Amino acid sequence: MATDTTPQTPRPDSELDPAVAALLKRDDAGLVAAIIQQHDTSEVLMLGWMDDEALHRTLTSGRVTFWSRSRQEYWRKGDTSGHVQHVKSVAVDCDGDALLVRVDQTGAACHTGTRTCFEGRGLPVSS
């Protein structure tokens, strides 16, 4: 059976509330950065990308959905790893080009198995 290898693009035809969609300033690929933060500790867990459809799925399902730029497909965090992100709140920044998604994280947030995608990756800062 043949597999369709045509690259996907984020869906422009989403059911996202038009009033919410109007708040967003997307990049040339139609994406907005989504900062994922643990709701009760304010720990920054990771950064992902969302288009209108991924945001719609996130707002309506209670689970975080991203657009994978590398795989060119939607992915719901935790479906394969079990490291689920339950949505507590979503906010858009003042410029409309970033989202803050506060979650209750189950397990590691990073695909490397660390709690956050920033753990152990600090850079030296000169003062």
**51 assigned binding-site residue:** no
The beta strands (E) that lie in the chain are given as: 32-38, 44-50, 65-68, 73-76, 85-92, 98-105
Residue 117, marked binder: yes
Distance from C-alpha of 96 to C-alpha of 112, rounded to nearest angstrom: 30
Q: 79 labelled as ligand-binding?
A: no
40 is in an annotated binding site: no
Residue type (1 letter), 83? H
The residue type of 33 is A
Q: What's the one-letter identity of residue 87?
A: V
Mention every residue, 6+ apart, whose C-beta is less than 8 A from residue 78. Answer: 63, 84, 85, 106, 107
Q: Is 94 known to sit in a ligand binding site?
A: yes
- Residues within the annotated binding site for Zn(2+)? 94, 110, 117
- Residues within the annotated binding site for Mg(2+)? 93, 95, 97
